[in-house]
Structure formats: structure tokens, C-alpha cells
Amino acid sequence: MESRERTYFGVDVVRQGPKLGNYVYSVAIVREGRVVKVDEVPAARLIRLLWEFKPVVVAVDNILELGGSVRNLLRFLKLLPPDTRIVQVNVGEDGVRDLRTVARQVGLEVPHGKLSLRLTAIVVAILASRGVGEEVEVF
């Protein structure tokens, strides 16, 4: 897509299971700083959306939420479009930080208490679109 460099996915896990096919995710798609779609999708649909939109970043607040185990995580990562990076937005120079704190530091207003899954997906996508977080490198 033309605006690939401006498309970011925020992902938070809704339901897990022993197999990647059991996973359901809350997904937010941010393009040009605006939320264009928020949905709850199974793993297979998420992969199709990733190939349809080819985002520059898939943003998370915990990398293991993408698969639960290292084995499932590696399977997930192998299915990503080329050049799509994984960014954990609540990791910085001072280690892992609370997502709400990170959001407030960049001027996002978030409610106190635990964020809903949908709101978490939106927040991590927006944070990534603003350059927050660290890329996860897998060897």
C-alpha cells in the first residue's frame, strides 16, 4: 500500500490456547495518526490483515502475547510480511514500564486502572506511530 510507512498495528491478546490457532486478538490499525479500524480477530484473520495492510510495525506491550510460548511466537513471526517490525512500546532505556505511564508521557490521555483490550491495542499502535518503544529482534 502507498502509505505503508504510516500504517501501524496495535495488538493485545484476548484469548490464548496451546496452539496459535486458538488465539484471538484485539487489533487496532492506525494510519497517519488516526485510528482507522479496531476489531477482535482470530490469529488467521490477523495474519491476513497484516498481509493486506503490510504495516511497518506491529506494536505490543508484551511480545509473548503474540504466541504465549517461544514456539508459537516463532510460528507467528514467520508469518509476518517482509519488513514488518515488532515493537514493544513499554520498553525503553530504563527497562519495562507501565503502559499508562508511557502513554501519559507522550500526551495520551488514558483512564486510571486496567485498560480494556481494545484500548490497549489502540494505545500501543499510537505509541508505536510516535516512535515509542524498542524493536524486538529474534535470532
Q: pLDDT tens, 80-137? A: 999 999 999 999 778 889 899 899 998 998 888 889 999 999 999 999 999 999 998 8
- Least confidently predicted of 15-19, 27-31, 94-98: 94-98
Interval 48-54 mean pLDDT: 96
- Give the C-alpha separation, 24 to 38, whole Å: 13
Q: Using CA atoms in the order 75, 7, 135, 17, what is the torsion angle rounded to 10 degrees?
A: -30
Interval 31-54 mean pLDDT: 94
pTM: 0.90
Sequence-ordered list of residues with C-beta below 8 angstroms from that of 97, at least 6 positions apart, any chain: 90, 91
